[in-house]
Chain A
C-alpha cells in the first residue's frame, strides 16, 4: 500500500526518544541515517526516466540555467549602464532591467521544470489519510482536563472574582474605540455650507483669473469655476467647485431659477449629488451634464434636474450676479448642501423652499 517511508500515522511524539548523553541517531544528521535500512531507491510508484532522456534533460536545463545566469548578469549591467532622469531614458532602463529580469526568472523556472520532468522520477506514491477528528478517548480526556482546570482555578466557584474580572475587562475593550475619537472633528453643520459668500468672485479654474460676464458671451460655453482665495484649497474645492454655463436666453427652462442667473449665465455645483465626482461632461446641444463616474445625467437648462442615472437630486444652483466692475460674483452660499447625500441631510430642497429661498 504505502511505499514511502514517512508514515503519517506515527504517534504524536514530538520529543525524539533520546537519552541524555547518547549520540543523536542517524550518525549525526537530522536527515536520518545514510540510507541505513537500505531503502531501495526504486520501488513501486517511483519510475525513473531512462538515462537518455535524463541526459537530454540535463543539457536542456543546463542551457536554460546558463541563459538565466547571463540575464542576471545583464540586469546588473543594465542597472549600471542605463541611467534615468528623462522619459526616454526611463523607457530604455525599464526595458533593459525588466527584460533581463524576466528572462532570468523565466529561464530559471523553465530549467527547473525541465529538470523535474525529464530527470526526476515519475511518482505515484500513496499516502493514507486519517479522519481529522481526534479519537473519542482523547476528546474525553481533554474535556476532563478542561473541567479539572476550570475547577482548580476557582473561576466557577468564586462569583465575586468572576464578576469583577468581567467588569474590569469591559472598559478595556472600549478603550481603542475611545482613542479613535480624535481621528477627526465631528461633522457638525460643515457639510451644509461651502466657502461661497456674497460678493466672492468666480475664478476660472486653470487660469486663476476672475471672469467678466461680458467676456463669457458665447452661448454653449462652459467653464470650471473655483472660489476666489481658495484656488488651491482642496477641502474648499471638494464642495465649492462650479460649472458655469452660458445659454441662449430662449433655451432656459422653468426649472432654472432666473433671478440666480446673470445674462443667461447659470452656475451649478460641479459636485455630483450621487457620490461626489465632478459632474462636468457638458453637451451644449442637449444641455446635458453627465457625470463620468456613474453617468448620472442632469438637464442644465432645466435647473439641472436628473434625467438619467443613479443621482437622486439636481445639482444645486448657486445664485450669481456681477460686481461694479462687471466680474461675476456669488450672491450667497448654496441654498442646500452640495454633493452626495448623507443621513442628516434630510429634504433640504423642501426646507429651502419653505424658507422662500427657492
Chain B
C-alpha cells in the first residue's frame, strides 16, 4: 500500500503555512537534501542532542532549585545532614535529590549530559580536524565551534558551582584564586564577581543567571548558526566511488537522514538515561555543605577542567615581586597558557594551514588522517599535550591507587608535557607514512589471500587478490597536499614576498608540510611521482607487480 495523496491532516496545515510564509520553495529545495553517511559524521550530534537534553532537564531543575546563599538548617530526608547549617542552594539541591520524585534522575541526567556535551564536542572537533573538514569554505563554522567549546567550558564551570557543596566550592575557590592573580585588575575582577570578599553572598545567584540565561542563550544562537552553515555548505564526504569535490553522495534528508537523526537523538537520550540510572554522578550529599575552611582529598573538577587543574599542579613555584607589585606566575602561566595554546591554536589552524600550503580552493572531500601526516601528527601532539595535563589533574588518585609517589607523578608530568607531544608527533608521522605505503601496496598489488602457490621455479608465493572496489576508491581519494614552490603565479622565479625571511620560512614549512606524501602514489604505477621511494618491504615478495593476480 502506498500513499498517493498527502493526508488531509498534513496537507491542510502545510497549505496554511505556505500561503502565509511561502515555505514551499525552501522545502522543495531541501526535503531531499543529500547527506553523506559515515559513523563519524554523527559525533557532533552527540553534543547537539546533549544540549537539547541539558535545556530540558535544566528547566526541570530550575523549578526546584533556589540560587541563594542564605544560611538554613537542613530539615529534609537525608539523615546524616539533618540540622547541619548550609546554604539555600545546597539545601534545595538536596531537596531535588531526596524529596522530588525523579529529581535525582533528572539531576544525574543533567550532569551526565554536561559531560557528554563537552566530550561530544571534543570528539566531533577531532573528527573535523583529522579529516581536514575545517578547510575552506568551512573556516567560519570551525571558529564557531571553537567558540562553542570555550563557552561550554564556562557553562560547565558555572553549573558545577551551583549546588554549593564542598567539592564545587573547592573549584570556586580555585577560580577565585586564579582571577585574583591576574595582574593589575585581578582583585577588582574578584571583588566584582563575588560582590566583595570571597565567597560573599552573591556568586551563586550570579553564576545562576550566567548558567541558565546568558551562556545558554549564546550557545543556542551559535549552535543554530553552526547548523545553518553546515546545511548551506552541505556536509563534507569521505572519498569513495563517485564522490568528488563537486558533489555529495548519500541519503536524502527526508525520510532517511531524518529517521537516522531522530534515532540518534533517542540513543543519546537513552544512553544518558541509562547512565543516570546505573552510575551515580556528583553525589553532593556525600560532600557536605561548602565552607572555605574544609576540603576533601582528591578534590577534582569535572573532566573538561582537568587539564587546567593538571597545569596548575605541575607548575613550579614562580612568583615575581617588583616595585611593590606581585606577579604570581605559578598561577597565571598554567591558568592561561595551556588554554591559550589550545584555543588559539585551534582557531588559527585553518588559516595557518592555508598560509603554509597556499591552498585557497574549496574542499568538500574529507582527508583520511594518514594522507596528511603533518596535520595528523600535530593533532596527536596536541592531544598528548592536553592528555598529559588532564592526567596530571588526577595525579593524587594515580598516586594513591597505583602507589606511585606523588611528587614522582608531578615530575614525570613536568617532563612529559614537553617530551610527550614530540614523541606523539614522531610516532604518528611514521605511522601515517606506513599506512599510506600499505594503501599503495594494496592498490597496486591487491590484498593477501592466504593462498600459497608454488611456482614452476620452485619458489613459493602468496597469491594476492584485488581488493574490493569501494576500498580502492576510498584509498584513491587521496589528494596531494599542495606546496608553494615558487611564486604564487606559478613561475619559476620566487616572488618578492617569498624572498623575504618570512617568505623563506613559509616556503620551507610548505615543502615540509607536503613532503613524503606525493612520494606514495595511489595511481597505480609510473605516474612519475618517485615510485622508487616505495621501499621494498611494502612490495611483498620481490619484483613488484608480477605476482599479484587480477591486476
Contact = CB atoms under 8 A, between A and B. Distances in A.
A14 B28 CA distance: 11
Interface in B94-136: 97-105, 108-109
B191 A132 contact: no
Contact of B196 (A102, A126, A185): A185
Interface stretch (A4-12, A162-170, A244-252): A4-12
A292 B137 contact: no
B55 interface: no
Given A94-B277, A112-B263, A275-B173, A84 B11 contact: no
Interface stretch (A135-143, A152-160, A340-348): A340-348
Interface string A332-351: 00000001111111110010
Contacts of B174: 275-277, 293
A340 B331 contact: yes
Contacts, number: 360
Interface string A11-55: 001111000000010111111101100000100000000000000
Contacts of A27: 5
B183 interface: yes
A94 B97 CA distance: 10
Interface string A71-92: 0000000010011111100100
B221 interface: no
A295 B263 contact: no
Contacts of A241: 292-293
A287 interface: no
Nearest to A25: B24
Interface residues of B, number: 131
A69 interface: no
Given A15-B22, A29-B14, A277 B295 contact: yes
B330 A312 contact: yes
B141 to A, nearest CB: 12
Interface string B229-268: 0001110000000100111111110011001101111110
A185 B267 contact: no
7 tightest CB-CB pairs across the interface, nearest first? A275-B177, A98-B277, A312-B319, A105-B270, A109-B266, A106-B270, A238-B292
Given A129-B364, A275-B173, A277-B299, A270 B102 contact: no
Interface residues of A, number: 105
Nearest to B98: A90
Contact of B260 (A4, A116, A293): A116
A185 B22 CA distance: 55
Contacts of B325: 343-346
A63 B159 CA distance: 40
A310 interface: yes
With a 10 A CB-CB cut-off, give which of B24, B178, B326 has the most chain A CB atoms.
Answer: B326
Nearest to B78: A87
B176 interface: yes
B102 A235 contact: no
A318 interface: no
A41 B199 CA distance: 67
A204 B33 CA distance: 70
Contact of B296 (A85, A120, A127, A292): A292
A112 B99 contact: no
Interface stretch (A186-194, A209-217, A255-263): A186-194
Given A85-B99, A105-B269, A295-B410, A31 B11 contact: yes
Given A125-B32, A129-B246, A292-B295, A343 B184 contact: yes
A198 interface: no
Given A30-B24, A275-B312, A295-B406, 5 more contacts: A98-B108, A120-B255, A124-B249, A275-B174, A295-B313
A123 interface: yes
A224 B34 CA distance: 66
B324 A346 contact: yes
Contacts of A310: 312-313, 315-317, 330-331, 334
Contact of B313 (A31, A226, A294): A294
B170 A126 contact: no
Contacts of A84: 77, 98-101, 103-104
Contact of A98 (B242, B264, B276, B290): B276
B167 to A, nearest CB: 11
A131 interface: yes
B317 A306 contact: yes
B407 A343 contact: no
Contacts of B91: none
B250 A99 contact: no
